[in-house]
Chain A
Amino acid sequence: MAGEPTASETPWLDQDAKPFICIKGVTKKFGEFIAVNNVDLDIYQGELFCLLGGSGCGKTTLLRMLAGFETPTSGQILIDGIDMSNVPPYERPTNMMFQSYALFPHMTVEKNVAFGLKQDKVPNDEITDRVHDILKLVELQDFKKRKPQQLSGGQRQRVALARALVKEPKLLLLDEPLAALDKKLREQTQFELANIQEQVGITFVVVTHDQEEAMTLSSRIAVMDKGQFMQTGTPTEIYEFPESRFVADFIGSANIVEGKITEDNADHVRVSTDLGEIYIDHGQSTKEGSRVWVAIRPEKVHLSKKPPSKKGPNQAEGMVDDIGYLGNTSIYKIRLKNDRIIDVTAPNQIRPKSRTHQITWEDKVYLGWDASSAMLLKK
């Protein structure tokens, strides 16, 4: 590997890096409905890129335009520097893994996987070898002669992956690759998928509505809503530095309060909200008095039955209104004096001695958070 490791791992920060996929001002309309609205995006070689959004946000339409099943109403898509406008799906250097897997029911696992190679007129013994190798990679070498109906959901998923990978595409498109699996299998497969991507080194573009899946898998995530990108960034950027209320709320959960900036300095901001005064330890170039929102993640709020030693910003008090016990963590709904409910999650680090918890219903509690925890949102 030549070059700086930082540059190859985060090519999107490198000014000179050449993007592998260029989406330039792409719009897709279905009649009057705008599915994808004038989006621009660069994806780099070797990335595992996630398009994340709710249903109807346009993520699948965008993926289908990359595969060639839909043509953009306007705009341009370049893959590896080549304009894809007039390239039909069967001539694109992409392969897709479909949500329902789309395995051919009248063919065995082996024939399903070999189908793509046969279309390219690859010699027969090479087909046999490559099918064997790829089935070994997904650990299905003993299932060659089975029909798709004779496989479990997880096995079908791996056949679909093998069939898409065997042609060694430059770009692999995955439409909700794990949606049809049950929870345990999904968690396990997330890591397998990421491992396989590292092994084969192909660029993956994954469409998902599951933020956990997106966070675990991807190098970068684009959060989509109403046909547009709300924010693009690494999982950490998206989660810790959301740019809007939509992103803060969509990824994970957040307590969002509206407020006014009362002080805006280079190294800190003070915001007055109905959560009291909030102090944030980084500057934000906004006008004093302007309307903003502050988001605080439930796990970043400390919960205590003891009042804080000294009064200051980033504090609140309230009553425990409800508790959701999840085993490893608990979600506390804290009702403030002004009836606002604040969510707090806390790990259950100590096994309770009795069957009741230390903090329980109707307890008076004190909330606090670090100056770095609150996130200032301008929209």
Chain B
Amino acid sequence: MYNKRSGFLTFMVTAGLAFLYIPMILLVIYSFNKSKLVPVWGGWSTRWYSVLFQSEDVWEAVSLSLKIAVVNATFATILGTLAGLAMVRFGRFRGRTLFGGMLVAPLVMPEVITGLSLLVLFISLNQIIGWPAERGFTTITIAHITFSLAYVAVIIQARLTGMGETLEEAALDLGAKPFRVLTDITVPRLAPGMVAGWLLAFTLSLDDLVIASFVTGPGANTLPILIFSRIRLGLRPDINALATIIILFVAICVAIAALIMYQQQKRIERDEQIANQEVL
């Protein structure tokens, strides 16, 4: 049934891939468009790349977005890991169910509501204690941490549950105090989950438009906010150039990740081979 190459299957795969990737290919092609109008082809040129490199507002937005993403990912990973540990490793404690529910709430909460409520919070805080004096980097980062940490916590919980407690018990049994067990056994074992969580939080932050729009202030434009506002003012092909660079960057990251995974696979196979050799 499956070994006969079905025409329908081939068609569906091709159509699916085309649907996903043709827009991106078009975008890349149009980034080399000479014409000033995005949808009109006017011949090949790299002029929008030079325009892009000269537009300071774009680079400011890129650097703000990256800064927010890095700080957000770092804090979200730390807090999310602690939350995950509390959920999985601390047994039953008062309010555990409530805590667990509150931890995943940001995952299902509509972004507009998260954004609006945070805006209200920041404004009232400003009125009561005078902080944050103005909205921008700090407020966006705090907003991003609140929802990113939920994603990290979910990843960490899944990994902790999968790991089981035996290794920690073994370490305790060998005389390691609970804090040493955390630093020497749990955290190294959690590292892949924490890296995954960090990357996810980083991406989520880089991607977010809605929440950032609510809690940002004058002058603090993240990249999504900038691109979105440009659309309203009329697109310029330098955005295509920027998008092409982002696609290239992501492609390189994915390639590196694939390479690392391939090497890990190789190492596992090699380890198994070594282990089996000794038996023979």
Contact = CB atoms under 8 A, between A and B. Distances in A.
B271 A98 contact: no
A140 to B, nearest CB: 10
Contacts of A146: 274
A115 B275 contact: no
Contacts of A89: 169, 172-173
Interface in B167-186: 167, 169-178, 180, 184-185
Given A95-B174, A163-B174, A150 B188 contact: no
A167 B268 contact: no
B188 A69 contact: no
B278 to A, nearest CB: 5
B278 A167 contact: no
B247 to A, nearest CB: 36
A17 interface: no
B278 A152 contact: yes
Given A150-B271, A150-B274, A115 B188 contact: no
A127 to B, nearest CB: 13
Contacts of A106: 188-189
Contact of A95 (B173, B176, B189, B278): B173
Contacts of A150: 271, 274-275
Given A149-B275, A152-B279, A69 B174 contact: no
Interface string A206-218: 0000000000000
A102 B169 contact: yes
B276 interface: yes
B6 interface: no
Interface in A125-179: 146-147, 149-152, 154-155, 163, 167
B166 interface: yes
A146 B267 CA distance: 13
Interface string A65-103: 001110000000000000000001111001110101010
Interface in B145-170: 166-167, 169-170
Given A90-B176, A150-B274, A152-B276, A115 B268 contact: no
Sort chain A's interface into a size bin: 20 to 34
**Residue among B170, B174, B178, B271 with max Cβ neighbours from chain A (10 Å):** B174
Contacts of B189: 105-106
A116 interface: yes
Given A149-B271, A150-B274, A102 B172 contact: no
Sort chain B's interface into a size bin: 20 to 34
A152 B272 CA distance: 8
A104 interface: yes
Contact of B167 (A104, A116, A149, A154): A104
Given A89-B169, A98-B170, A102-B166, A116 B175 contact: yes
Contacts of B178: 90
B226 to A, nearest CB: 43
A104 B185 contact: yes
A116 B171 CA distance: 8
Nearest to A166: B174
Nearest to A173: B173
**Residue among B176, B178, B188 with max Cβ neighbours from chain A (10 Å):** B176
B186 to A, nearest CB: 11
Contacts of B169: 67, 69, 89, 96, 98, 102
A120 interface: yes
A118 B170 CA distance: 14
A180 to B, nearest CB: 13
A119 interface: yes
B271 A115 contact: no
B257 to A, nearest CB: 20
Given A69-B169, A106-B189, A152 B175 contact: no
A68 B174 CA distance: 12
A147 B270 CA distance: 12
Contacts of B274: 146, 150
B170 A167 contact: no
B175 A90 contact: yes
Nearest to B189: A106
A68 B169 CA distance: 10
Contacts of B185: 104
Interface string B182-197: 0011001100000000
A262 B103 CA distance: 73
Interface string B246-279: 0000000000000000000000100110111011
Interface in B187-233: 188-189
Contacts of B172: 68-69, 88-90
A150 B268 CA distance: 9
Contacts of B173: 67-69, 89-90, 94-96
Nearest to A64: B169
Nearest to B172: A89
A98 B166 CA distance: 8
B274 to A, nearest CB: 5
B177 A90 contact: yes
A100 B165 CA distance: 12
Contacts of B167: 102, 104
Contacts of A163: 174
17 contacts: A69-B172, A88-B172, A89-B172, A89-B173, A90-B175, A95-B173, A96-B170, A98-B169, A104-B185, A115-B184, A119-B174, A120-B175, A147-B271, A149-B271, A150-B274, A150-B275, A155-B275
* Minimum-distance CB pairs A-B, first 3: A116-B174, A119-B175, A102-B170
Given A68-B172, A90-B177, A119-B176, 4 more contacts: A69-B173, A89-B169, A90-B174, A115-B171
